[in-house]
Amino acid sequence: MNDVRVVVADDQTVVRDGLVTLLRLLPGIDVVAAASDGEEAVRLVAEHNPDVLLVDLRMPHCDGVEATRRVRADHPDTEVVVLTTYSDDDSVLSALRAGARGYLTKDADAESIGRALQAAAAGQSIMDAEVQRRLVEASAKPVDAAPAGLTPREIEVLRLIADGLSNTEIARRLVVSEATVKTHINHLFAKADLRDRAQAVAYAYRLGLA
C-alpha cells in the first residue's frame, strides 16, 4: 500500500514545523510540502497533487475554509482534513460545507491525526469527539428552512447516515436493496446540494434530524 501523500498548511511556524516533524514519524504518511497560508496551500496542492491537505482554519490571505473550497473544486482527488484550535459549530459547519473530509482539534494526538489522514485518503470521514459534540449542540438551534424537499424515506436515510451506518447497514435496517439505498442517497444529495457523507452528517445535525 502506498504512503498517504500530505501537504500541511498552518500559518504558525512552530506549529507547522512541529506537525511536519510529527507526521514524518508516522508509518504510511509522506509529507510532501508545507504551506504558511491558504494561498500557498492551494498552489502546493496544484504542484504536488497530494492525497490529503491538512489545513488550519485561521490563516492570512486565504483562510482554511476558502482553501478547502478551492482545492475540492479544482483538485477533487485531494481530500481535506481540518486541524484547528477552533471547534465552534460555525467553523465546523463551514469547513464541512466547503468539502472537508475530516475535522480535528489541535489537542488530537499523532495517532489520531494519522488515522484521520489515512481515512480521508480512503474516502472516509473522521471527526473527533469535541467536534461531534459541537454538531450535536448545533442541532438544537432553530432551522430556517425545512429539509430541501426530501421525502420521508430520504429523511430516514439521512438520519441513518448521521448515525454512522453504511449503505449495506441502511439497506438491512430498511429492508430494501443496497441499490435502492444508493438511489435515495443520490436524490437527497442532489436536493440538499451535498457532496459527501461528511456534509450529510453536518446537514442532518443542523436540521435536528440526528
Question: How does residue 130 score in pLDDT terms, banded at 50, 70 and 90?
Answer: low
Q: Are residues 128 and 146 in the same domain?
A: no
Q: Read off the pLDDT of residues 27-42 as tens digits, 9 standing for 90 and up.
A: 999 999 999 999 999 9
Residue 178 above 50 pLDDT? yes
Q: Are residues 123 and 82 in the same domain?
A: yes
Question: How does residue 131 score in pLDDT terms, banded at 50, 70 and 90?
Answer: low
Q: Are residues 30 and 122 in the same domain?
A: yes
Q: Are residues 34 and 96 in the same domain?
A: yes
- Predicted local confidence at residue 175, as pLDDT: 85
- Which pTM value belongs to this model? 0.67
Among 105, 138, 171, give the residue marking a domain's end.
138
Q: Are residues 122 and 180 in the same domain?
A: no
Helix, strand, coil share of the chain (percent; to 5): 55, 15, 35
Q: Are residues 24 and 127 in the same domain?
A: yes
Q: What is the CATH number of the domain that holds 152?
A: 1.10.10.10
Q: Are residues 132 and 85 in the same domain?
A: yes
Give the angle subtended at the CA of 34 by the CAs of 10 and 123, to the nearest 5°: 85
Q: Read off the pLDDT of residues 45-56 as tens digits, 9 standing for 90 and up.
A: 999 999 999 999
Q: Are residues 9 and 31 in the same domain?
A: yes
Residues 6+ apart with CB under 8 A from 139: 204, 205, 206, 207, 208, 209, 210
Among 85, 107, 138, give the residue marking a domain's end.
138
- Domain containing residue 89: 4-138
Cβ atoms of residues 35 and 50 within 8 Å? no
Residue 174 above 70 pLDDT? yes
Range from 40-44, 102-106, 125-129 carrying the lowest mean pLDDT: 125-129
Alpha-carbon span 180 to 102, nearest angstrom: 27
Q: Are residues 151 and 68 in the same domain?
A: no
Q: Are residues 133 and 153 in the same domain?
A: no
Among 122, 138, 154, give the residue marking a domain's end.
138
Domains held by the chain: number:
2
Q: Are residues 166 and 79 in the same domain?
A: no
- Predicted local confidence at residue 42, as pLDDT: 96
Q: Read off the pLDDT of residues 60-70 as tens digits, 9 standing for 90 and up.
A: 888 888 999 99
What residues does 127 pair with on adjacent strands? Answer: 103
Closest CA to 35 of 58, 12, 4: 12
Q: Read off the pLDDT of residues 74-85 as tens digits, 9 standing for 90 and up.
A: 999 999 999 888
Of 24-28, 120-124, 126-130, the range with the highest mean pLDDT is 24-28
Alpha-carbon span 70 to 162, nearest angstrom: 26
Q: Are residues 33 and 85 in the same domain?
A: yes
> Is residue 38 classed exposed, middle or buried when 0-12, 13-18 and 19+ CB atoms within 10 A define those classes?
buried
CA dihedral sign of residues 113, 34, 42, 90: positive
Cell numbers placing 73? 473544486
Give the angle subtended at the CA of 193 by the CAs of 60 and 113, to the nearest 5°: 50
Q: What is the CATH number of the domain that holds 22?
A: 3.40.50.2300
CA dihedral sign of residues 94, 130, 194, 141: negative
Alpha-carbon span 86 to 190, nearest angstrom: 30
